[in-house]
Amino acid sequence: MTHPYRLHYAPDNASLIVRLALEEMRLPYEAVLVDRRVAAQRSARYLALNPHGRIPVLETPDGAIFETGAILLWLADRHRTEACAMMPPCDHPDRTHALKWLFFLSNTLHAELRMLFYPALYVGDDPAHQAALRARLQGSLTTHLARLDTAAAAGHAWLNGAAPSILDYYLATCLRWIALYPVDLAGWRDRTATPHLEALCARIETRAATAICARAEGLGPHPFTQPAYPTPPEGSAL
């Protein structure tokens, strides 16, 4: 690798969250397209990096890492500086609370979004079963976001604080997806019900990292406050 990190990405996929973190930390990396139009994530070459066939993968000098939350936590711990600390250190009391909400994003919110976007993987091809699953998920996601809005209002440094954290970027990207996908349900969520999450999106949108990633993946000028479908220079989001 010409850079210490190689990010295997597709536009507006979970790799976006990792890319945002890499840019915020000002870490050099190489971005390698995983072309979903030809199912490159299921190629033998990609499966050798991630046997689950999901995006992203980050290649590092220590080997390849998959799972978005794991990559973010590894990067935040490995590259902590006084000027850029995107996760509380292991010996700080805030670490306890930041970890539980990070894994809530990864294991609950993000996991349920995958079910919302790809219901056939969970209940098969019957449209009635898919509609029932999506309706149930809309209810649970609304509850999750209300709880996250309360957490974002609490004044924590690691969520909607003065400096961006890996949780901020993870959550802002999930909120972007909820506004856009699946296409036939776009706009179902009442964004005015979570003002603190909207404030988080507005703050993250001002970061240089966001502008860099938005240009690289064709996300438009307001990727978090006014999400638009991507027009990437290469690859496909779906």
CATH of the domain at 138: 1.20.1050.10
Domain contains 122: yes
- Does residue 233 fall inside a structural domain? no
Please give the Cα distance from 137 to 131 (Å, whole number).
10
Residue 161 lies in a domain: yes
Structural domains counted in the chain: 1
pLDDT band of residue 90 (cuts 50, 70, 90) is very high
In a domain, 192, yes or no: yes
Structural domain for 134, as ranges: 94-207
Summarised one tens digit per residue, pLDDT across range 165-193 is: 999 999 999 999 999 999 999 889 999 99
- What tokens does 85 get? 């600390």
Write the pLDDT tens digit of every residue in 5-38. Answer: 999 999 999 999 999 999 999 999 999 999 999 9
Domain assignment present for residue 121? The answer is yes
- Answer whether residue 168 is part of any domain: yes
CA distances from 125 to 66, 121, 174, 207 (A): 28, 8, 25, 41
